[in-house]
Amino acid sequence: MTTLSRGASRARSTDIALLYTARALRGFGDGFAVIILPAYLSAIGYTPFQIGVVATTALLGSALLTLGVGFFAPRHDLRNLLLVGAMLVAATGFVFPLSQHLAVILFVAFFGTINPNTGDSGVLVPLEHAMLAQGVADSERTRAFARYSLIGALAAATGALAAAAPDLLQPLGLGQLDAFRLMFLLYGMLGLASAALYRRLPHVEMRAAAAASPLGPSRGVVYRLAALFSLDSFAGGLAVQSMMALWLFERFDLSLSAASVFFFWSSTLGAFSFPVAAALARRIGLINTMVFTHIPSSVFLILAVFSPNLYLTLALLLMRAALSQMDVPTRTSYVMAVVTPAERTAAASVTAVPRSLAAAVSPAIAGALLATPAAGLPFVACGVLKIVYDVALLYSFRHVKPPEERRVDRPESTG
């Protein structure tokens, strides 16, 4: 029995390592795509508003695909769905640079996986979350998701550095547009590599016995969380990284190479905030960690808009980056904790989809405002709305504890 237990433990460790590696590959691709996307679209003549529309379309398509995954996954093999998602990543990278026509780009943005923002979002995320959650104990869940987010963010940081490749390739005789297209092809190849990793995962079906719908007893909690997450994501959509990069390009004439270095450090700071968030959550709880790290980051974003020079602006944005992502692993862990195991895939999707839908509206608004004298207004609105979200989250869920916090809070028996 001990040998069987050790074998099962090794198999789970291998599966988790495969998920982490696939997350790293996708994070690397997202890291350069989020910077290359606005630069490429600007290079082929698109206006800030049109770039915002492309970003909105990409987020809207991602939201609808994620919603579909949430309802398919509880009745289908997670491994097969992951493979389909990885092939979609590959197809996106190979097809996106083939045409400069707006209709074609909008089509690929909607049905593909190009994301104007890095982080734990996209059609593959709820599938990876569900497979990861079923392989770890409650006491290890937050740390597992913190490692997942850490790996993704570090890979995205490395990918941000790779976004400087078009500038480095031009002296070698490669044109700017050809260099951009080469980066999209690399994005597609990373999708194929992810598929090779997913093929090694076990077949897993998250079937709920006699369940009338993917969400059951936790439906009310999930819907309340989804509503609040929508507000947070609408605000976040006003400051997605592609639009932030475009703002820095337009306001300070920042070069692609300089932007890649900035986003590298931004992603790196965000990455190392994840294990800090996990440690902090063990001391003060998941909800408190989400709220009391998020509010200062929003203040820094607002201050950055009014900064008089580039260096102070970048410093404030880096301070924001060190705090703004600490709610990512804690939020994911909290959602997985307050639902039953059979509901986890659906809960991940139902909370993710309203977030993506709400965020999908915002980039078009931000893009329109970037072309006006009030170019910083989207970021001010983002900060204010996020503070409102944090206060509402604390008020609504401060008494809804995950299992590990309930065990700590439970009073001793007086017998």
Q: Which of 205-214, 240-249, 338-347, 349-358 has the lowest mean pLDDT?
A: 205-214
Tell me how crowded residue 84 is: count the other CB atoms within 10 A of its CB.
Answer: 16
Predicted confidence band at 298 (pLDDT cuts at 50, 70, 90)?
Answer: very high
Q: Sort 318 into a burial class: Cβ within 10 Å, 0-12 / 13-18 / 19+.
A: middle
Domain residue ranges of the chain, discontinuous segments joined by +? 9-201+217-401
**pLDDT single digits (tens) 156-181:** 889 999 999 998 888 888 888 999 99
Predicted confidence band at 338 (pLDDT cuts at 50, 70, 90)?
Answer: confident
Q: Please tell me the predicted confidence (pLDDT) of residue 202.
A: 86
Residue 11, pLDDT above cutoff 80: no
Residue 354, pLDDT above cutoff 80: no
Q: Please tell me the predicted confidence (pLDDT) of residue 30.
A: 92
Mean pLDDT, to the nearest integer, of 287-305? 95
Predicted confidence band at 211 (pLDDT cuts at 50, 70, 90)?
Answer: very low
Residue 274, pLDDT above cutoff 80: yes
Record the tokens describing residue 13, joined without a space: 């460790």
Residue 111, pLDDT above cutoff 50: yes
Return the biggest CA–CA distance within the chain: 81
Give the position of tokens 């369940």. Answer: 211
Q: Please tell me the predicted confidence (pLDDT) of residue 1.
A: 42
Q: Please tell me the predicted confidence (pLDDT) of residue 358.
A: 84
Record the tokens describing residue 35, joined without a space: 């910077």
d(CA 72, CA 4): 32
Of residues 2 and 358, more confidence is placed in 358
Of residues 356 and 343, more confidence is placed in 343
d(CA 311, CA 297): 18
Residue 7, pLDDT above cutoff 70: no
* Percentage with pLDDT > 70 across the chain: 91
Residue 321, pLDDT above cutoff 70: yes
Residue 97, pLDDT above cutoff 60: yes
DSSP H helices, 171-252, are 176-198, 219-237, 241-252
Q: Please tell me the predicted confidence (pLDDT) of residue 6.
A: 56
Q: Please tell me the predicted confidence (pLDDT) of residue 288.
A: 93
For domain 9-201+217-401, give the CATH number: 1.20.1250.20
Residue 366, pLDDT above cutoff 70: yes
Q: Report whether 323 contacts 273 (CB < 8 A).
A: yes
Mean pLDDT, to the nearest integer, of 51-75? 82
Q: What is the mean pLDDT of the chain?
A: 86
**pLDDT single digits (tens) 22-39:** 999 999 999 999 999 999
